[in-house]
Amino acid sequence: MGRIHRRQLLQAAAGAAALTGLQGGSPVRPRIGLVPSTYPRLARPSSVDDPLDYERVRDMVWTAIRLGTPRAGSLEAKIRPGSWVVVKPNIVGLRGREFYRTGDITDMRVTRAVLEYVARFTKAGRITLAEGGSYRSLKDPAKDNVVYQDGVRRDAMTFDWGAEEFPGTGGSFEDMLAGFRKEFPGHGFDYVDLSYDCVRDRAGRFRRLETPRAPNGVGAFGARPDYFVTNTICKCDFLITVPVMKIHLQSGITCCLKNYVGTAPREAYAVPGTFHNAQLHSGHQVEGRIDPFLVDLAAFHPPDYAVVDGLRGLQYQEHNCGANDQMVQSNLVLAGEDAVAVDSLVSYLLGFNPWDMEFLHMAARREMGVRELDKADVAGAEPDLLRRRWAKPKGWFGRANRLWRITANPAEPAGQWKPCEIPTDTIHFDRWSGGAAPSGRTFAAATRIESRGHAKAFLWIGATGRFQAHLNGKLVLAEESRTRYRNGQFQQSVELEPGVNELVIRLEAIHPHPRVSAYLIGPRNDGDTVEGIRWMG
């Protein structure tokens, strides 16, 4: 991991703003609290390597919440008296399972601090800890995917974390909630296992609900628009998402919006013999991307507030991969009302180009929040001083160009090519033209790229067919692909000129389903879109 300088933060913010803006948007700039353990206004500032005790973590969480001021003026002002407040951490796994390692789930100290804040400073009537993990409840008679501890079957509520996993706190969530009931008798505390909370019809069968449309009319992004969802998420008055920030194999990062996968009821989505949301993935992903269903699930109750555990997380991928350096200790906490803006900042802190987060574009289209970093205010620490380049997932690639001018007759004047905004990374020429393409049929696609200056980049092309790519009239890449289609299969170093650049790809069909995708990757060639450009179509 390496340090990123402030100039790069400003470039990323400006580039994101120039690319694709939020339609409409909130008139008030969202505010994000960013608090590392070194923050001088903490009662006991500590080094990034300090294991921290509960009191110091609580101070970080509460300081981040107070800095990440919502439009209501404070979190306690936003939560109305008598409200049902749900706190949803990420507790996808329990220690002892093969895929678990420290940094995999939301730190118990952060979850406890959020619960205590709500109990101590708000007039909430009911405070619920809710999660759905890849392990069965004690009430589930099935014998697969169960967790035993010292010979006793456990689940999220009863698992004893001991005193070392989360320094300064420990035990079980069951004990934690029991302690809160005694300390704060004016609130009701309970736990809901979201894996078993599916909405049902009158006959008791699992019931799918259509993804709610946003006020601007945007609906579902997933391959199918209706989902199994939980009563708790749909019915609660106030939802606080409390994820751990880490790398994810498919979405790049997992944080506020990715945390919604734990709200999908496994009782409805798991296949026999397993207890993960296999049918959520197979039924709703689009061309291998899970981003569509992340945003669709969040649409049933977008986050009312977000608190991010950045104490310890995982690089390379979201679960244990066996690498000695996979766990990264950062000792920081983020908080804010706009979960989209928070996720954008997290992606930047982990070393990504936020523009490459597909789910952020979708969430912004739903007016769920602000995607552009320069449209949010960060209070507390300077993000550029905390940014590191975490190891990205294997095979990572960002977001391809979506704005094209396409033709099935490359000989016709370019001004007659048809503008097209594609919904995914890939142009499917057969779908665009209305049928399978005979061998030898030719297509072309063109786009313009605005660059703030000279920029070294890598052109990544995925294709099925025989293609040539021209940049500013110069042939830069020519290949033939008859094998399995892969995004970014062909890569070539290129240089962008200041101002507007023209990319033209001509493709000859050698398969009934010709297709192509194009990415411009930064000089590290790590899958991130080069900063400082704008696709213009």
Q: How far apart are CA 208 and CA 228, in angstroms?
A: 5
Measured between alpha carbons, how far is residue 479 from residues 442, 469, 486, 487 in Å?
15, 9, 13, 14
Residue 4: pLDDT over 60 = no
pLDDT at 64: 99
Question: Which residue ranges make up each domain of the chain?
Answer: 28-385, 403-536
CB 417 within 8 A of CB 383: no
To 5 degrees, how large is the angle CA 209–CA 210–CA 215?
A: 130
Comparing 78-82, 102-106, 293-297, 480-484, which segment has the lowest mean pLDDT? 480-484
Residues 6+ apart with CB under 8 A from 323: 316, 391
Q: How confident is the model at residue 8 (pLDDT cuts 50, 70, 90)?
A: very low
CB 153 within 8 A of CB 146: yes
Could you tell me the pTM of the whole model?
0.93
What would the pLDDT profile of 50-64 be if each residue is shown by its tens digit? 999 999 999 999 999
Residues 6+ apart with CB under 8 A from 267: 195, 196, 198, 206
Alpha helices, DSSP H only, in 29-123?
54-67, 75-78, 108-121
Measured between alpha carbons, how far is residue 134 from residues 281, 285, 329 in Å?
14, 19, 25
CB 340 within 8 A of CB 370: yes
What would the pLDDT profile of 344-384 be if each residue is shown by its tens digit? 999 999 999 999 999 999 999 999 999 999 999 999 999 99
Report the C-alpha dihedral over residues 64, 346, 256, 90, rounded to 10 degrees.
-80
Residue 309 half-sphere exposure toward CB, CA atoms < 13 A: 32
SS3 call for 159: coil
CATH topology for 403-536? Jelly Rolls (2.60.120)
Tokens in use for 326?
A: 């996979």
To 5 degrees, how large is the angle CA 366–CA 368–CA 371?
A: 100
Q: What is the mean pLDDT of the chain?
A: 94
Q: How far apart are the first and last CA of the chain?
A: 35
pLDDT at 21: 37
Q: How far apart are CA 371 and CA 20, in angstroms?
A: 9
What would the pLDDT profile of 145-192 be if each residue is shown by its tens digit? 999 999 999 999 999 999 999 999 999 999 999 999 999 999 999 999
Residue 22: pLDDT over 70 = no
